[in-house]
């Protein structure tokens, strides 16, 4: 691990100032992803601003009937919250489908959104990777790409967003609340939070340098049946090959987002009109522009089948 300096910030704006004011500085929340990447020297921050004292660890009701989730609420605390389990089941389900109990206890809401890809070439510092080292190339495109993106990728990068939580937040139309070094707040719709790789795969999100996530806000509950289905190579503690977050209403209409297929949670609202017609009707348009590799072409039919299972599960409930 490279040497760094360390401080603990007292307020969100102070934390944002500390990171914005020093090139190479980073926020440290739970640390479960960042410290791992620092050990591998994939992340090499020169300064860490520990944000654990910012009192952003509460879940509050909003005036609009939704929930405001503090950036530092742990994944376990969020999935355990009675309101989340009752009204936002897809979110609780997505969280407990990810990582291990130990990691969920330490990982935070904001940190989960900011976790880096698990593309094997991003982790292997002997290999080219445009996300880790811009301009070095992408070893994944012609390499082992079973886990990687089938849609929205570029000729620079085919990495996926690895998380489950963000897929549920996408289907719930969550908003990411931030503050910058000047203390100015900003609200970013979750749809605009993560980026597609394009020519700048080293930039995962639309956060400005030093911009700190303070909360994630959920709109009023949608009702309906909440399902999160994750297909993976083992029954627990593995990243998704394909995952589906869905909220299905009693009349068969609904919303759906996919994980494990793109650099961001994959949702196209226009495709959801076909929900009552069944899974294939939805995925035909959702994955119309898919460009899978030889290794991961199975993900496209798997996405249809997983959605079919989700719709069947929703109808049976």
Partner 1 sequence: MEEGEYEISRRSVLVSSAVTATLAAAGVSEAQPLPKALAPADHKVSFVVNGKGQAFSLDPRITLLDALREHLHLTGTKKGCDHGQCGACTVIVNGERINSCLSLALQHEGDEVTTIEGLGTPEKLHPMQAAFVKHDGYQCGYCTPGQICSAVAVLDEIKRGVPSHVQAELTRAPTPTNAELRERMSGNICRCGAYSNIAEAMADVAEARV
Q: Which of 103, 196, 297, 308 binds partner 1 (CB under 8 A)?
A: 103
Restricting to residues 214-243, name those near partner 1 by CB under 8 A: 235-237
The nearest distance, CB 268 to partner 1, in angstroms, is 27
76 binds partner 1 (CB under 8 A): yes
Indicate the DSSP class of residue 151. Answer: S
Restricting to residues 43-72, name those near partner 1 by CB under 8 A: 46, 48, 50, 52
Restricting to residues 6-35, name those near partner 1 by CB under 8 A: 6, 8, 28, 31-32, 35
Restricting to residues 147-186, name those near partner 1 by CB under 8 A: none
**Cα gap 265→164, rounded to integer Å:** 9
**Cα gap 161→106, rounded to integer Å:** 20
217 CB-near residues (< 8 Å, 6+ apart): 62, 66, 67, 68, 69, 174, 175, 177, 187
285 binds partner 1 (CB under 8 A): no
Q: Strands, DSSP E only, in 219-299?
A: 225-231, 242-248, 254-259
Stretch that binds partner 1, among 59-67, 94-102, 137-145, 214-222 (CB under 8 A): 94-102
The residue among 10 and 39 lying less far from partner 1, judged by its C-beta, is: 39
Q: Which of 17, 26, 68, 93 binds partner 1 (CB under 8 A)?
A: 93
Stretch that binds partner 1, among 4-12, 63-71, 275-283, 284-292 (CB under 8 A): 4-12
The nearest distance, CB 287 to partner 1, in angstroms, is 26
Residues 53-68: b if buried by 16+ CB within 10 A, e if exposed: ebebeebeeeeeebbb
**Cα gap 214→180, rounded to integer Å:** 10
DSSP string spanning 182-236?
Answer: T--EEEEEGGGTB---TT-TT--BSPPTT-EEEEEEE-S---SEEEEEEE-SSSS
The nearest distance, CB 36 to partner 1, in angstroms, is 5
Q: Which residue ranges make up the site for partner 1 (CB under 8 A)? A: 1, 3-6, 8, 28, 31-32, 35-36, 39, 46, 48, 50, 52, 76, 79-80, 82, 85-86, 89, 92-93, 96-97, 99-103, 105-106, 235-237
């Amino acid at each position: 691990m490279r040497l760094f300096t360390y401080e603990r910030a007292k307020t969100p704006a102070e934390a944002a100032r500390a990171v914005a004011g020093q090139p190479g500085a980073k926020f440290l929340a739970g640390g479960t992803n960042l410290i791992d990447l620092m050990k591998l020297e994939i992340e090499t921050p020169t300064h860490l601003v520990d944000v654990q004292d910012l009192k952003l660890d509460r879940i509050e009701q909003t005036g609009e009937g939704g929930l405001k989730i503090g950036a530092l609420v742990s994944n376990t605390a969020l999935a355990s919250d009675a309101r989340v389990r009752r009204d936002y089941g897809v979110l609780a389900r997505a969280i407990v489908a990810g990582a291990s109990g130990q990691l969920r206890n330490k990982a935070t809401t904001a940190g989960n959104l900011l976790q880096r890809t698990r593309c094997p070439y991003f982790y292997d510092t002997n290999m080219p990777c445009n996300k880790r080292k811009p301009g070095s190339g992408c070893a994944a495109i012609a390499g082992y790409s079973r886990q990687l993106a089938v849609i929205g990728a570029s000729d620079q990068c085919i990495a996926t967003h690895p998380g489950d939580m963000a897929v549920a937040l996408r289907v719930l139309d969550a908003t990411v609340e931030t503050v910058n070094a000047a203390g100015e707040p900003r609200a970013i719709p979750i749809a605009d939070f993560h980026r597609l790789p394009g020519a700048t795969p080293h930039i995962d999100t639309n956060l400005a340098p030093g911009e700190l996530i303070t909360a994630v806000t959920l709109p009023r509950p949608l009702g309906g049946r909440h399902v999160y289905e994750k297909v993976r190579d083992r029954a627990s503690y593995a990243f998704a090959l394909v995952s589906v977050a869905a909220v299905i209403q009693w009349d068969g209409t609904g919303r759906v987002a996919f994980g494990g297929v793109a650099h961001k949670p994959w949702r196209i609202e226009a495709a959801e009109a076909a929900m009552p017609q069944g899974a294939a009707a939805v995925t035909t348009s959702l994955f119309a522009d898919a460009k899978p590799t030889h290794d991961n072409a199975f993900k496209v039919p798997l996405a249809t089948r997983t959605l079919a299972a989700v719709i069947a599960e929703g109808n049976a409930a």
